[in-house]
Structure 1
Amino acid sequence: MFTKRSDAYSLTPCWFTRVHEPDGFRERDDDGTLVCTCRHCRKRIRSREGKTWNLADGLDLDALAASCISSHFSVIDVEEGMVLARYKVPPNSDELVIADMWATIARKHGVEAGGDVEIRLVRHEDVLQKRH
C-alpha cells in the first residue's frame, strides 16, 4: 500500500552542508565565472576559482567586491559566505607592499592554507579591464 508514494521526497546532501558539487559540462560567463549544475540538487551553481561553488541565483560576494572603485583585500569566511574585513590598498603600491600587506592580514586573521578563511585581492586595474 505504501510502496510507491509520490509525495515522499528526500533532501539532498547540499541542502544540509551548503557544499555543492559540479556535475557535467562547465561553461564560462562573460565575466569569467564558471557555471555548472550541482550533481545533487540539479540547480545552477557558479565558481570564480573552481573550488568553491555557490548557487548561481544567490548573492555573489566576488562580483559585488569587483564593482568597487579602489583596490583592496577582502577577508572572506568561505563556509559562511561572509566578508569579515576589507583593507584598502594604497594607490600605486608595488608587489612588495602588496605581499607585505597580505602577510600582515593573514597573521591578524589567522588565515591558513586550505582553511575556511581566505584573503582575496581585488585589483582596481582588473576591474577596469572587465568593464571595457
Structure 2
Amino acid sequence: MYTRRDSFAMTPCWYRGDHQPVGRRRREEDGSILCTCRHCRKEIRSREGKTWRLAEGLDLDALAASCMSSHFSVIDAIGGMVIARYPLPEGADEDDIAAFRDRIIEKHGIAPGDDLEVRLISHEAMQGKRH
C-alpha cells in the first residue's frame, strides 16, 4: 500500500525564469558560456555571464550576431525579447556610436538596472566567430 505522499515544489527558475549557475562552466566556440542551473539542473547558457537562459531554447544573441550589419538591439532581458533594432550609420566613429546609443537610451527611457538593455551587435567582431 502506498502511504507516503511525495510533493514536488516548483523551482524558483520555473516561476521567474531566473536560472542560477552552479558547477563547472565551459565556453562554446561562439563565445557563450554553458553551465547547469542550481535549481532545475538543466543546461543553461549565457553570453555575457549575467543573464542565464535554457540552453535548448532560442538564443536571441546568437541569432542577432549572425546578421550581416552592425546594429544596436534594445532587449527585454527578463522576457528574452528584442524590442527594437537600430542599424549603425555608415562610417560612424566611436563618438557617433556613443551619441547614437545615448539617443536610443533616452528614446526608450532605459535606466541602469532596468529590465531593458541596449546591446551593440558588431558585425566585425562576429566575423571571426562564424562557422
Q: TM-score range by the shorter chain?
A: over 0.9
Structure 1 residue matching 2:91: 3-state secondary structure? coil
Structure 1 residue matching 2:64: 3-state secondary structure? helix
1:115 corresponds in structure 2 to 114
1:43 corresponds in structure 2 to 42
- C-alpha separation between the residues in 2 aligned to 1:113 and 1:126? 25
- What is the deviation of 1:5? 3.0
- What is the deviation of 1:130? 1.2
- What is the deviation of 1:4? 3.0
- C-alpha separation between the residues in 2 aligned to 1:30 and 1:125? 17
- C-alpha separation between the residues in 1 aligned to 2:85 and 2:77? 15
Structure 1 residue matching 2:112: 3-state secondary structure? coil
2:93 corresponds in structure 1 to 94
2:54 corresponds in structure 1 to 55
Q: Is 2:12 the partner of 1:18?
A: no
2:4 is matched by which residue type in structure 1? K
What TM-score does the superposition give when structure 1 sets the normalisation length? 0.93
Gaps of 5+ in 2: none
- What is the deviation of 1:91? 2.2
- C-alpha separation between the residues in 2 aligned to 1:61 and 1:121? 13
Q: Deviations 1:17-55 (Å, cap 9, x if unpaired)?
A: 110000111110111101000000000001011110000
Moved over 6 A (4+): none
1:114 is matched by which residue type in structure 2? G
- C-alpha separation between the residues in 2 aligned to 1:64 and 1:74? 12
Q: Is 2:57 the partner of 1:73?
A: no
Aligned length: 131
- C-alpha separation between the residues in 1 aligned to 2:12 and 2:130? 37
1:5 corresponds in structure 2 to 5
